[in-house]
Amino acid sequence: MSEKRTTLQMEKDKPFRILQLTDIHIGGYIFTNKEDKQALNDIKLIVENAKPDFIAVTGDAAYPMPFWPKPFFSGSLNNLKASKKFGSLMESFNIPWAFVFGNHDCETWSFYNKDKLSDYYESLDNCLFQRGECFDKDRGNYCIKLLNADGSINNLLMFLDSNSYLGKMFFSGFDVIHDEQIEWYKKVVLENTKDGAMPPSLAFFHIPPKEFRDAWEKCYRGDPSVTYHLGYIQEKDNYVGYPKTKESNFFSEMVKLGSCKGMFFGHDHLSTMSLSYKGIRMTYGMGIDHLAYKGIKKRHGQRGGTIITIQPDGTFDVSLLPLEDLQGISYYKTKMDN
């Protein structure tokens, strides 16, 4: 295994291009071969067109759910096999990439836990995943420094495990980013603060914070405290899959800290919205999923990649790269209906 890189460097006077991918949902089972192949082909097309300097994957690469959406015709319990299908493709691009766990990557009944999957991701040459600071069952809290051409910090790219469930499975409710992880985030930022100049940071994780729902409701009412940028909430009844039964201090503490300028997540496969609220831009990455939602094979507008373009001064903007723009709607629908 090669030594893990902890820095990325920008070229002089040139923006840095990050591609966010999320919710791949590789089943890794004989009955999901078609969906898995389509998902991997989609990623290949997105990467080829995005031409990123770096790829950030915000969880749910594997989908070890054998009973949903169709009994015995969904994901394999072998989540390592599914992860390897995904990881092999990512390595073929020869582009540095990073990964955080989603709630599905290591389901209770799956064969391999986060430690075993961490072994795999850490073994890959181009994957910058690190176990990092581990708290209880958290794996993958780590920082990658994005440096300017002169070696100064442009942004801290912070990867966090947003955990899975409060109990052992889906219906127990979603967990949150824990207080220990928040303190770790603060510590990293302060350790990299020089002469009073706090570096900006971007956070990558899987499950959205409750404050995204708050911001969306205010935006819907026309509240000027929220800035709408792009995208849609397409889940039924404007659903946002934040943890409903456990409070998190993550967003409020990031507002107080002042370093975090952007949060990027996935989890809700049909949402692509990006909003700014209390100084933080929150963005749903475009998903890839062909498997986990009933009827999702016939949906197409939500699939694609999310482009984060970071300028030499540390500011950034976000744009969407929908698959339908790359393939053409008629071609894409034909592929999906076959």
**pLDDT values of the chain reduced to their tens digit, one per residue, 338 residues:** 345 789 999 999 999 999 999 999 999 999 999 999 999 999 999 999 999 999 999 999 999 988 878 776 788 999 999 999 999 999 999 999 999 999 999 988 899 999 999 999 999 999 999 998 888 778 899 999 999 999 999 999 999 999 987 666 666 678 899 999 999 999 999 999 999 899 999 999 999 999 999 999 999 999 999 999 999 998 888 889 888 878 899 999 999 999 999 999 999 999 999 999 999 999 999 999 999 888 887 787 899 999 999 999 999 999 999 998 987 644 444 454 44
Distance of alpha carbon 1 from the chain centroid: 25
With CA atoms as reference, report the closest residue to 43 among 326, 335, 328, 338. Answer: 326
Residue found by looking up tokens 């209390």 in the block = 278
> Coil, helix or strand for 303?
strand
- Considering the domain boundaries, does residue 1 fall inside one? no
Tell me the backbone φ, ψ of residue 55, rounded to 5 degrees: -120, 130
263: Cβ–Cβ under 8 A, 6 or more apart, which residues? 202, 203, 205, 209, 251, 254, 280, 281, 282, 283
- The predicted pLDDT at position 313 comes to 96
CATH, residue 59: 3.60.21.10
Say if residues 301 and 278 touch (Cβ distance below 8 Å): no
Total tally of structural domains belonging to the chain: 1
b (16+ CB within 10 A) / e for 303-323: bbbbbbebebebebebebbbb
What Rg, from alpha-carbon coordinates, does the chain have? Answer: 19
- Considering the domain boundaries, does residue 2 fall inside one? no
* Bridge partners for 156 per DSSP: 145, 201
- The predicted pLDDT at position 287 comes to 96
Give dist(CA 152, CA 157) in Å, integer: 14
Q: Does the model's pTM come out above 0.85?
A: yes
Q: How far is CA 208 from CA 27, 68, 164, 232, in A?
A: 23, 22, 12, 15
- The predicted pLDDT at position 294 comes to 82
pLDDT in tens, 182-221: 999 999 999 999 998 999 999 999 999 999 999 999 999 9
Q: How does DSSP assign 173-219, residue by residue?
A: -B----HHHHHHHHHHHHHT-BTTBPPPEEEE-SSPPHHHHHHHHHH
Q: How far is CA 105 from CA 64, 118, 121, 202, 282, in A?
A: 7, 11, 12, 23, 23
- The predicted pLDDT at position 90 comes to 98
**Distance from the first to the final alpha carbon of the chain:** 41
272: containing domain: 7-337
